[in-house]
Amino acid sequence: MTLKSIFNTLLVAVALVSCSQNLNSQNGTSVINIDGTKLTEMAKDSNTIIIDVRTPGEVAEGYIPGATKFMDYNGGKFETEYKSLDTSKTYIIYCRSGMRSSNASNQMVQAGFKKVYNLSGGINSWSGAIKKD
């Protein structure tokens, strides 16, 4: 590999990283990562909706009190479900470890949602009570 081809490969890689970092800011919005303390504080606002994007089996093991939407990110209906939501509301998204909720949050921002928050570390990082039905 020549020095020029290495340089060109690096240039393409930097461009791709730059584009992916700006993907969420196309509409001037980006996902904000929060911790459990901030979630508790934000949940007091009636305009805030907490969404659990874990599987039904995971939800049955317990969920964060205040979660009112359960939309399995990998269940095949997530896009249809979030597109029916009000884009002007504030959404806090969480999963087990933060990966699915991060992806779900990014997807929602790309679709035009303005106030989307991701619980860093997911329910695994949650130190509060867990609710079971």
- E strand or H helix at 51: strand 48-52
**Residue 94: strand, helix, or coil:** strand
Q: Cα–Cα distance between 36 and 125 in angstroms, integer?
A: 7
Tell me how far the alpha carbon of residue 101 is from its chain's centroid.
4
**Residue 98: strand, helix, or coil:** coil
The span from the first CA to the last CA of the chain, in angstroms, equals 60
Q: Could you say which of 31, 92, 95, 108 is catalytic?
A: 95
Residue 95 known to be catalytic: yes
The answer to whether 31 and 101 have CB atoms below 8 angstroms apart is: no
| Residue 90 C-beta-side C-alpha neighbours within 13 Å | 11
Active site residues: 95
